[in-house]
Amino acid sequence: MEQIRGTIGRWQGAGLMATTLLGTGVFILPQMTLEKAGTSALWAWALLTLAIIPVTLVFGRLSSRFPHAAGPAFFVEKAFGRTLGRSIGLIFLLVIPMGAPAAILMTFQFVTSLIPLAGWGLLAAQLLVIGLLWVANLRGLQVSAKAQFALTLGIVVVVLTLFAALGVQHKAVELPDFESAWQAGPMMLAAAIAFWSFLGVEAMTHLADDFREPEKDMIPAMMLGTVLVGMIYLGCTSLLWLVPSTSGVAMMGVFDALLGGAGAQVIAILGIAAGLATVNVYSGSAARLLWSFSREGIMPRWFEKLNPHGVPVRAQTAILGAMALVLTLVFVTGQELEQLIAWSNGVFVIIYALSMAAAWRLLPRSSRPFILLGLLFCAALAWSLGERMLYALLLLSAVLPLLWWQKGHLQRKASGIL
């Protein structure tokens, strides 16, 4: 039977993890959180970064001990049985065609700052990007992982350069009042948006088989990437607070104010590259999950085929095709970007929570303090999303009965009843 061959090392994995998390939001989400919560957004980013660390550690331990292309779906299945595990895999597959188009829409905010696109021309450009991603993935993730590590370094350099310029110029800035900014309501609103920035922790678990030595490299790669990303997001939010801008993409205005121009070009190029990297990893992760389900007979065997480079190209084609369809429907119906983000976040809260519950059964007792923190983190996010969790709950309630029916049908068929 065909197997995926691991090619990614620790530092490539750290770059892949960091760029996945930075993604479309690196220069957009800080601005959105400040608009929602003001100074409280700074606390939201700091607390969210601390809260995601135990979640990342648990996912890293799970994937290093149980490397599998199905990721969280495999962990939940191993802990609670096939029906619930496969439900997690299916809702992940169903949310990717919604979440990834949201990422593309965010990416095109940078594109349109450089190239005036609108209407059907904008949609055509978005669909062209999906086609290019399909071509880029034909040879696997090794080349893109190296490129994404370099991209992460580039983003870090830009953020550090902006802070250095702020210090050299000794600009008069108004420091935020952190004590008055400690307001639970605004912080939770900001955190509900900011959670989008850390979607990708679980995506790395699908790529465990792409690592040369997952048991050795998965945890360091995931932890390094997560901590680095949290610091970058907090840094970008601080810059936007200290150097207010009226630019549509505020980081472009900050760049111009501190470095004298070219903000639109530099920030847009980095934002576009990071956004495409996010969609690249998520489409690759979903394709591997579909490939895994195909091998297990959950999905049609047609998706099992690998190309000579070990890429599940048929599964990749199906995932990217679904994304193209959703993008077209979003364009036609005029769906709001923020609503797409909220719906996607709700699904991932369920995936994270059930993965933490699975870890309680699968990992040694020494991991339980981190697991408990992860469960509390998921509960807080679910509360902050409120009624926007309804989409995720409806999706799960629709998938579970179908899988129970499938299980019973196969059992009756095997026993000769059918």
| pLDDT tens-digit readout, 52-110 | 999 999 998 888 888 777 788 889 989 998 888 888 878 877 787 777 788 888 888 88
According to the model, what pLDDT value does residue 172 have? 52
Q: Which two tokens stand for residue 253?
A: 């205005």
- Residues ≥6 apart with Cβ < 8 Å to 145: 7, 8, 12, 13, 15, 16
According to the model, what pLDDT value does residue 143 have? 46
Q: Across all residues in the chain, what is the average pLDDT?
A: 80
* AA identity, residue 192: A
User: Residue 115 in 3-state DSSP?
Assistant: coil
Task: Please compute the mean of the pLDDT values over residues 155-162 and round it to a whole number.
Answer: 84
Q: Is the pLDDT of residue 141 over 60?
A: no
DSSP 156-203: HHHHHHHHHHHHHHT-------TTTT--HHHHHHHHHHHGGGGTTTTH
Closest CA to 292 of 408, 376, 209, 189: 209
Q: Is the pLDDT of residue 414 over 80?
A: no
Within 10 A of 163 (CB to CB), how many other CB atoms are there?
14
Task: Answer yes or no: pTM beyond 0.95.
Answer: no
Instruction: Give Dmax (Cα) for the chain.
Output: 81
Contact 113, 263 (CB under 8 A): no
Closest CA to 159 of 267, 12, 45: 267
According to the model, what pLDDT value does residue 371 have? 95
pLDDT: is 362 or 403 the higher one? 362
What architecture does CATH give domain 10-406? Up-down Bundle (1.20)
Phi first, then psi: give them for residue 8, nearest 5 degrees: -95, 135
What are the distances in angstroms from CA 114 to CA 32, 189, 263, 274, 392? 21, 31, 11, 16, 36
Q: In the structure, what pLDDT confidence band is assigned to residue 353 with cuts at 50, 70 and 90?
A: very high
DSSP 52-89: HHHHHHHHHHHHHHS--TTTHHHHHHHHH-HHHHHHHH
Q: In the structure, what pLDDT confidence band is assigned to residue 144 with cuts at 50, 70 and 90?
A: low
